[in-house]
Amino acid sequence: MLTRGTKAAPAERVLDSQCGEEFAAGSSAFARDVAAALAKRPRSISPKYFYDARGSRLFERICELPEYYPTRTELALLAAHAGEIAALMGPRAEIVEFGAGSLRKVRRLLDAMKQPARYLPIDISGEHLSDAAAALQRDYLGLEVRPVVADYTQRLLLPAPLPHAGRRIGFFPGSTIGNFTPAQALQFLTMTRRSLGGGALLLGVDLVKDPAVLHAAYNDSQGITAAFNLNLLVRANRELGTDFDPEQFAHCAFYNAPLRRIEMHLVSRRRQEVALAGQVFDIDEGETLHTEYSHKFTVDGLHEMARRAGFRPGPVWIDEQRLFSVHWLEAPREGDQA
């Protein structure tokens, strides 16, 4: 168990090694993507833009909702199996968390690990990440906490492993893998497996289940998920000077059973115009802006995708109600695959 510590290193911004451009956390990428989303049919934008400071706070509230089972179920699984997971990690392991958010879940792991060497939380929301990293650092003495502000869906330049560090363990909880398309998920897993060579990935994955349970989780009675979805428009108005009227859009989330995914959209309640950088876009009544997929998986389906990405599936931990799963995936070194 680690104890109270000092200051976390300031959040570091990482450049995309391929295009040399700052990661898409910046407004210019947002402006470009909103304009592209409004110009195409069907209209669609990446869910990564939900997570400005307000969006991140709304997501934290979603995680506490009675209808939203993934967070509490995954936390319980991590707590119940932390000892076994820590043993698989080995001594002086380094954790790289993708899309770190509140950094709550990693505490379950750190508490059980033998002398964790370093913790690298990566998140697109810089302000939120710095606060969460500082809070974590206060609680864990001797742990190097090095927050990285970046879009982890792009190629990342991670700091070199520390001398004498153990294995590098990727941590991707919350079933955020489900927010990718299947092709993006495979690409992310392949890229991650390469960056973890000789280490492993601990992956949280939401399971296929009764559609009524899924529907409730994305249509909560307090309207927090609706506010989270609509915040995309609020953010565009603030950061890009668009003139969306959020009241004129409805939150819509439904389970597409054949494709095993929740789809979230913003539906225009009437015919309206939106201006962005001198361009005017017409939006018809009933037209939608697709904002998020949240794919649900079977264990076999997830294993098949992981194998295609070059991982060797290991233990899987599932709760009694079979709501959620946590997967251990071994990342062989390049050229060392079975």
Binding site for ligand AVI (CB under 6 A): 62, 174-176, 178-179, 218, 225, 292, 294
Cα–Cα distance for residue pair 229/233, rounded to 1 Å: 8
The least CB distance from residue 266 to ligand AVI, in Å, is: 13
Nearest C-alpha neighbor of 155 from the set 201, 203, 192, 200 = 192
The number of helices, as runs of H, and strands, as runs of E, in the chain is 9, 15
Which one, 88 or 216, has the nearer CB to ligand AVI?
A: 216
89 contact partners, CB below 8 Å, separation of at least 6 = 109, 113, 166, 167, 169, 200
In the complex, the smallest distance separating the C-beta of residue 218 from ligand AVI, rounded to whole angstroms, is 5
The CA distance from 113 to 135, in Å, is 19
Min dist CB 262 to ligand AVI, Å, is: 7
Is the CB of 166 or the CB of 174 nearer to ligand AVI?
A: 174
Q: How far apart are CA 244 and CA 273, in angstroms?
A: 8
- Give the residue among 12, 2, 3 at the shortest CA–CA distance from 133: 12
**Both tokens of residue 244?**
């969306």
In the complex, the smallest distance separating the C-beta of residue 292 from ligand AVI, rounded to whole angstroms, is 6
Smallest gap from residue 158 Cβ to ligand AVI (A): 22
Residue entry with tokens 């990718």 = 180
- Residue 50 or 140 with smaller CB distance to ligand AVI: 50
> Minimum distance between the CB of residue 175 and ligand AVI, rounded to whole angstroms?
5
- CB–CB of 316/62 below 8 Å? no
Nearer to ligand AVI, 59 or 119 (CB): 59
Cα Rg of the chain (Å, integer): 20
Our CB check for ligand AVI shows the closer of 178 and 199 to be: 178
Angstrom distance (rounded) from CA 218 to CA 39: 27
Closest CB 151 distance from ligand AVI, rounded Å: 14
Q: Which is nearer to ligand AVI, 34 or 100 (CB)?
A: 100
CB nearer to ligand AVI: pick between 102 and 242: 102
Q: Among candidates 276, 12, 251, 231, which has minimal Cα distance to 120?
A: 12
